[in-house]
């Protein structure tokens, strides 16, 4: 304050600057002060982010929602063209094929037994198995009449469906022409509506024939089973498997009357509800596109694939990530800390496509070679048949999620008050006891949320699974237990990346991919939400 100002106070001169000056003229820009401008800038940025997010969600849901209507039509055609009817019969054939495969497995086991343990030459072994081979051939041939029936009826049904699809295309064409104002050309597009009832009659008329064929099939299988060769001389264990096979075959035969009932009750005109379209997506066990027969959009194989790969990844990443976090936070010297922390965090600097490439070029082959070594054959699923499978992808995904899990778990451990550690030590607990009984439980909510976020990271990862998971769209065979981990799978992220480029925009396949995207989005949302909830709910009082 200038010294002269003091003098002005008593005189209270109106022109003089007041001594206690606390007002200031602010420069204004568009009526806003500088502070308000800065505030508006950052507020605006946040708003843009929110709007973009909202737009993305609206787009995602708008594109996806139409899928269910389209899928409902898709399923309606499936029924009306009689494909559903034939698939009922086809299921019998599929079951029989699965049984035949078991028989082949049995033969392979018997052959291995004979050549390896009883040291017979392959020729001798084959001779010993002649009876079994004869049985297998006859068993496998028993299905021929049914297969023939399915094949004949299938052609008829496929033809109906094709005609229906042609009509659909024509309708679209006409609508397009009309929209362009070319009414004359539109009138030339003739649509002959498909009379489903009449077209289906030949198929439905075969029901008595089917009944006959089916009865013969069942009787044939039964006779074959009674004459099945015994494997007891080769190995008692194999005979037990043969009994199991017989039991399964009889169980299969027992389902035949049920199929007949279904066929008799089947009605092409029965409407397909929208819920059926929804459940066909959520519980559908097939993802089958561009098929000449019927397209299926079921998320289960993709979901199980994603889940399987994530489980492998977490099985590896959780012990490593959490273990490393505990070590770094509780045990390591400051020097080690300075070395380990950046090293682990550096992993996330790898572009995932590079890791994926590494998986294809090195890891897949390395794992397969390793699995072929004699001393690891006890591991379920070893030796690995496919180079690219859930295990290969899971190993690399583990690498991707370790930095996330490590960093967040380390934070959680760091937040455990030092006082708890001191209290535990002061009571005579060793360092290990303190870590196991006090520090880790106190940090548990943070560690769990770290694992969940790692899971979110893994399930959303695309490049690695696309390159390394093997991309076979099938539900892994969980009957083989943990060996399912070494099977090739396809994932929700991978399928979008792989197929989005080649689908017709607006088509059912295109929309199905969007619904997969929505499912992925909801899953990630749920995981992140759960992680947030856990960390706030179980945070220990400071």
Partner 1 sequence: MTLPPPRTPKIENRESKIAPPAPVRTLIEITGLDFYYSEKKALDDIHLRLPEKRVTAFIGPSGCGKSTLLRCLNRMNDLIDGTAIRRGSIKINGIDINRPDVDPIELRKRVGMVFQKSNPFPKSIYENIAYGLRIQGINTKSRLDEVVERSLRGAALWDEVKDRLHESGLGLSGGQQQRLCIARALAVGPEIILMDEPCSALDPIATAKIEELIHELKRRYTLIIVTHSMQQAARCSDFTAFFYLGRLIEHADTRTIFMSPSNPQTEAYVSGRFG
Binding site for partner 1 (CB under 8 A): 333-334, 417, 419-430, 433, 437-438, 441-442, 540-541
> How far apart, in whole angstroms, are the C-alpha atoms of residue 53 and residue 194?
46
Joined tokens for residue 315: 């099985």
| 311 versus 420: smaller Cβ distance to partner 1 | 420
Nearest CB to partner 1, comparing residues 146 and 416: 416
Is 81:522 a contact under the CB 8 Å cutoff? no
C-alpha torsion sign, points 364, 370, 376, 378: positive
The token duo for 140 is 């496998």
Question: Could you tell me the smallest distance in angstroms from the CB atom of residue 326 to partner 1?
Answer: 16
CB-CB contact of 394 with 312 (8 Å): yes
Q: Using the minimum distance from each CB to partner 1, give the nearer residue, 439 or 464.
A: 439
Nearer to partner 1, 214 or 424 (CB): 424
Residues 6+ apart with CB under 8 A from 491: 302, 305, 306, 309, 465, 466, 469
Among candidate residues 305, 320, 496, 494, the one with its CA nearest the CA of residue 389: 305
Closest by CA position to 396, among listed 454, 475, 464: 464
Q: In whole angstroms, how close is the CB of 431 to partner 1 at the nearest point?
A: 9
Which segments within 389-462 are labelled E, that is strand? none
- Smallest gap from Cβ 429 to partner 1, in A, equals 5
CB 44, min distance to partner 1, A:
43
- What distance in Å separates the CA atoms of residue 306 and residue 458, rounded to the nearest whole number? 9
In the complex with partner 1, the residue whose CB is nearer, 202 or 417, is 417
Considering the complex, state which of residue 60 and residue 332 has its C-beta at the smaller distance from partner 1. 332
- 3-state secondary structure at position 29: strand
Q: Tell me how far, at minimum, the Cβ of 448 lies from partner 1, in Å.
A: 15
Q: Residue 324 CB, nearest distance to partner 1 (Å)?
A: 20
Nearer to partner 1, 343 or 423 (CB): 423
Return the beta strands (E) in 164-317 as ranges. Answer: 287-288, 296-297
* Least CB distance to partner 1 at residue 325 (A): 19
Chain centroid offset of residue 81 CA: 31
SS (H, E, C) 239-263: HHHHHHHHHHHHHHHHCHHHHHHHH
């Amino acid at each position: 304050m200038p010294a002269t100002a003091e003098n002005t106070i008593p005189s209270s001169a109106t022109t003089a600057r007041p001594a206690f000056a606390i007002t200031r003229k602010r420069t204004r820009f568009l009526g806003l002060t500088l502070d308000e401008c800065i505030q508006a800038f950052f507020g605006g940025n946040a708003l843009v982010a929110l709007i973009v997010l909202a737009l993305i969600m609206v787009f995602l849901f708008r594109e996806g929602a139409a899928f269910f209507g389209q899928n409902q039509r898709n399923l309606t055609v499936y029924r009306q063209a009689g494909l559903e009817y034939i698939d009922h019969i086809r299921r019998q054939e599929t079951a029989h094929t699965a049984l035949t495969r078991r028989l082949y497995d049995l033969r392979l086991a018997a052959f291995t037994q004979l050549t390896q343990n009883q040291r017979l030459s392959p020729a001798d072994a084959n001779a010993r198995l002649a009876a079994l081979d004869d049985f297998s051939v006859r068993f496998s041939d028993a299905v021929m009449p049914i297969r023939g029936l399915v094949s004949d009826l299938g052609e008829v049904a496929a033809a109906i469906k094709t005609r229906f699809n042609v009509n659909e295309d024509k309708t679209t064409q006409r609508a397009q022409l009309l929209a362009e104002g070319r009414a004359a050309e539109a009138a030339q597009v003739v649509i002959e509506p498909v009379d489903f009832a009449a077209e289906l009659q030949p198929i439905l008329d075969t029901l008595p024939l089917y009944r006959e064929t089916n009865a013969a099939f069942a009787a044939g299988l039964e006779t074959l089973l009674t004459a099945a060769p015994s494997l007891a001389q080769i190995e008692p264990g194999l005979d037990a498997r043969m009994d199991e096979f017989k039991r399964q075959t009889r169980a299969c035969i027992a389902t035949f009357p049920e199929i007949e009932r279904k066929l008799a009750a089947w009605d092409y005109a029965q409407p397909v509800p929208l819920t059926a379209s929804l459940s066909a997506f959520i519980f559908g066990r097939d993802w089958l596109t561009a098929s000449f027969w019927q397209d299926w959009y079921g998320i289960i194989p993709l979901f199980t694939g994603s889940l399987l790969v994530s489980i492998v990844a977490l099985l590896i990443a959780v012990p490593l990530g959490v273990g490393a976090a505990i070590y770094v936070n509780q045990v390591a010297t400051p020097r080690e800390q300075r070395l380990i922390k950046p090293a682990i965090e550096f992993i996330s600097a790898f572009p995932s496509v590079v890791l994926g490439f590494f998986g294809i070029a090195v890891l897949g082959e390395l794992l397969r070679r390793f699995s072929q070594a004699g001393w690891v054959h006890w591991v379920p699923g070893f030796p690995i048949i496919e180079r690219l499978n859930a295990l290969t992808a899971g190993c690399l995904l583990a690498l991707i999620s370790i930095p996330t899990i490590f960093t967040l778990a380390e934070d959680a451990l760091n937040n455990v008050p030092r006082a708890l550690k001191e209290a535990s030590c002061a009571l005579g607990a060793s360092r290990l006891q303190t870590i196991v009984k006090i520090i880790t439980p106190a940090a548990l909510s943070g560690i769990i949320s770290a694992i969940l976020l790692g899971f979110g990271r893994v399930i959303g990862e695309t490049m690695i699974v696309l390159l390394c998971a093997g991309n076979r769209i099938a539900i892994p065979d969980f009957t083989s237990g943990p060996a399912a981990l070494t099977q090739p799978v396809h994932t929700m992220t991978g399928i979008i990346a792989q197929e989005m480029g080649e689908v017709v925009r607006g088509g059912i396949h295109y929309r199905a991919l969007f619904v997969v995207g929505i499912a992925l989005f909801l899953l990630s949302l749920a995981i992140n939400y759960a992680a947030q909830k856990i960390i706030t709910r179980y945070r220990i009082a400071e």
